[in-house]
Amino acid sequence: MKQKQIIYASMLAALSIIFQFSPFFPTTWGMKIDIVAVPWLIALFLFGFETALLSMGITTIFIGFTSDASWLGATIKFTASLVPILILGYFYKLKLKIKIHHKVKKLVSIFLDFIIDTSVVSFVIVLVYVIMASVIKVFQKGFSFFTTEAFREGIKSGYGLQLYSLLAIAGVAGAFVLVHYFSTRPYEKKYHENYFLVMIGLVISILVRGILMIYINYNFALPLWLGMPKEEIMAFIPMYMIFVPNMLQTIIEFRIAWITVFATKLQKRI
């Protein structure tokens, strides 16, 4: 590994550590949706797997000493983030031996982009709803403004949304994304040559990470963290409550990192 890569890995690890103390969206069972892993993906796209792994290692050691979740939380974060780092890193460098028509690549990329962006916008809408519900609880129950208790009440309101409400939110988000696509026409611009493969890698990352985190949380992490047997945990924390946050986490990390590196042409400046 070159000295330049070590320096950038350390700088990006420092950025991850700062993000560790930034606002986040907690789930009801312990996971936090944050942007700690974004610098790791930036390291991956700019310098490769070794630099990303070094950045991850530095951050994980620090989080293990400072996080309220201690080494358990730091280890789970490392393991969960390692999945997209490995898979995206592979597809990012992959060279296909068979030719796929550029229009097919474009259509698949547009479809996957639409699903991903709609998911992110839906999450933002729900987050805004939760924050508004938290503010309402402040006035209803006399909480101090933005206390943990108020936000927790808001989160309960968010998780209590009915299916039709979630579908309506997804519809609004999808309409917003479509308007954005037709107004800005982002697909007329040249993609990274492997963007099509990276998007496929992202879908695989979401599936593998979600399944792996369900297994690890049910069998190791949550029994240790909550001090409860697996059967009781599965009774009140269904699989989708583990899979969906991990899906959103992967999408958010990827989207921010990709835009940072390629939309700003950062890879050409470093």
Per-residue pLDDT, 266:
82
User: Does the pLDDT value for residue 144 go beyond 80?
Assistant: no
What is the band of 169 on the pLDDT scale with cuts at 50, 70, 90? low
Q: Which of 105-114, 164-173, 219-228 has the lowest mean pLDDT?
A: 164-173
Q: Which residue, among 40, 33, 54, 55, has the nearest Cα to 89 in the 3D structure? A: 40
Give the count of beta carbons closer than 10 Å to the beta carbon of residue 100.
Answer: 11
CA distance 81 to 75: 10
Which of 23-32, 100-109, 216-225, 229-238 has the highest mean predicted lDDT (pLDDT)? Answer: 216-225
Give the count of beta carbons closer than 10 Å to the beta carbon of residue 17.
Answer: 16
Per-residue pLDDT, 32:
83
Burial code (b: 16+ CB inside 10 Å, e: under 16) for 139-176 equals: eeeebeeeeeebbebbbeebeeeeeeeeeebeeebbeb
Per-residue pLDDT, 85:
96
Q: What are the residue ranges of helices labelled H in the chain?
A: 3-20, 38-47, 49-66, 70-93, 102-141, 148-159, 163-184, 195-216, 222-226, 230-236, 240-258, 266-269
What is the band of 269 on the pLDDT scale with cuts at 50, 70, 90? confident
Chain length of the chain: 270
Per-residue pLDDT, 190:
46
Q: What percent of the chain has pLDDT over 70?
A: 74
What backbone phi and psi angles, to 5 degrees, belong to 25? -110, 105
Q: Domain boundaries in the chain?
A: 3-94+194-269
CA distance 78 to 209: 12
Does residue 96 contact residue 228 with C-beta atoms inside 8 Å?
Answer: no
Per-residue pLDDT, 3:
87
* Domain 3-94+194-269 top-level CATH class: mainly alpha
Q: What number is the average pLDDT over the span 37-60? A: 94
Residue range 82-130, pLDDT digits in tens: 999 999 999 988 876 667 777 777 777 777 877 877 777 777 777 676 6
Does residue 50 contact residue 4 with C-beta atoms inside 8 Å?
Answer: no
Mean pLDDT of the chain: 79
Q: Who wins on pLDDT, 111 or 3?
A: 3
What is the band of 163 on the pLDDT scale with cuts at 50, 70, 90? low
Which of 32-36, 161-165, 209-213 has the highest mean predicted lDDT (pLDDT)? Answer: 209-213
